[in-house]
């Protein structure tokens, strides 16, 4: 660990102290293996205060840092607040703290003293609950939505949609919905959702949304000619807005009516 500062960082002459610490036990989902440091500043002739605000930034560099740690700050070494990633190796105007990574070195930039930590998160987020499903794009896709999950780090990196235990879609943690295609689905399927935090801990999967597929009617060809979807769309569009009838064989093939009924109800949801 290396502390760096520039002339004028401290408001007066005094003593800067950096004390390495550890968590006494696994606390609030964070491992006792987390790295901590208490940074204090005592003006000459005075005792160090709990927090001292600094005129210019102080940097605390940690070497050999895993990408899954959560840089955090605390006033008392008990309650932790995640620090925000910075766009570069300096503290922008108006910011009081943050962190930046370069290779395996993670540097905290701060304009105050206190407790700084690289917390090792060992607790998964809460399970996505109350997943709501609906068919979109004419039944060709499934839209899933859910309330945000909670996590001890206060940050969800991503939500993943799983089909049969395999990830088929992923969205950022700032979103709480996803759309997955169903065009290639040929059998009953179970979709679930899980949350993943910044440390890579995955929640339990949500309750499954079951998508059932009706069997293809006999006599319907494997390859549907392009005119058939266009004609069905025209037939199912209100007459006031559907325009001229698209070109199609006359008379229509015997399979068309069965196909048209089937394609409209091919997929059904069973949450």
Average pLDDT, the chain: 91
Q: Quick one: pLDDT band at residue 268, thresholds 50, 70, 90?
A: confident
Class of domain 132-213: mainly beta
In whole angstroms, how far apart are CA 178 and each of 142, 159, 197, 231, 250? 8, 9, 17, 30, 41
Task: Report pLDDT digits (tens) over 205-252.
Answer: 999 999 998 888 999 998 999 999 999 999 999 999 999 999 999 999
Q: Domain coordinates of the chain in residue numbers?
A: 2-119, 132-213, 227-270
Q: How do residues 187-206 score in pLDDT, each as one tens digit?
A: 889 999 999 998 899 999 99
Taking only the tens place, the pLDDT of each residue in 26-82 is 888 999 989 999 999 988 877 666 568 999 999 999 999 988 899 999 998 888 888
């Amino acid at each position: 660990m290396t502390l760096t500062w520039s002339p004028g960082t401290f408001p007066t002459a005094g003593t800067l102290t950096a004390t390495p610490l550890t968590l006494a036990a696994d606390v609030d989902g964070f491992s006792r293996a987390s790295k901590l440091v208490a940074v204090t500043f005592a003006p000459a002739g005075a005792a160090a205060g709990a927090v001292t605000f600094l005129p210019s930034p102080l940097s605390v560099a940690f070497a050999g840092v895993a990408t899954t740690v959560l840089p955090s700050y605390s006033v008392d070494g008990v309650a932790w607040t995640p620090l925000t990633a910075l766009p570069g190796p300096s503290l922008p105007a108006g910011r009081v703290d943050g962190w930046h990574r370069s290779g395996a070195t993670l540097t905290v930039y701060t304009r105050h003293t206190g407790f700084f930590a690289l917390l090792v998160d060992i607790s998964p987020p809460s399970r996505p609950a109350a997943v709501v499903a609906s068919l979109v794009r004419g039944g060709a896709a499934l839209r899933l939505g859910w309330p945000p999950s909670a996590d001890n780090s206060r940050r969800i990196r991503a939500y993943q949609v799983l089909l049969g235990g395999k990830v088929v879609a992923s969205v950022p943690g700032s979103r709480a919905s996803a759309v997955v295609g169903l065009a290639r689905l040929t059998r009953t399927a179970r979709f679930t959702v899980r949350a993943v935090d910044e440390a890579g801990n995955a929640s339990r999967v949500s309750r499954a949304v079951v998508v059932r597929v009706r069997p293809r009617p006999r006599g319907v060809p494997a390859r549907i000619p392009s005119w058939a979807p266009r004609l069905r769309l025209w037939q199912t569009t209100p007459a006031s807005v559907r325009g001229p009838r698209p070109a199609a064989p006359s008379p229509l093939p015997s399979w068309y009516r069965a196909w048209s009924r089937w394609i409209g109800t091919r997929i059904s949801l069973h949450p």
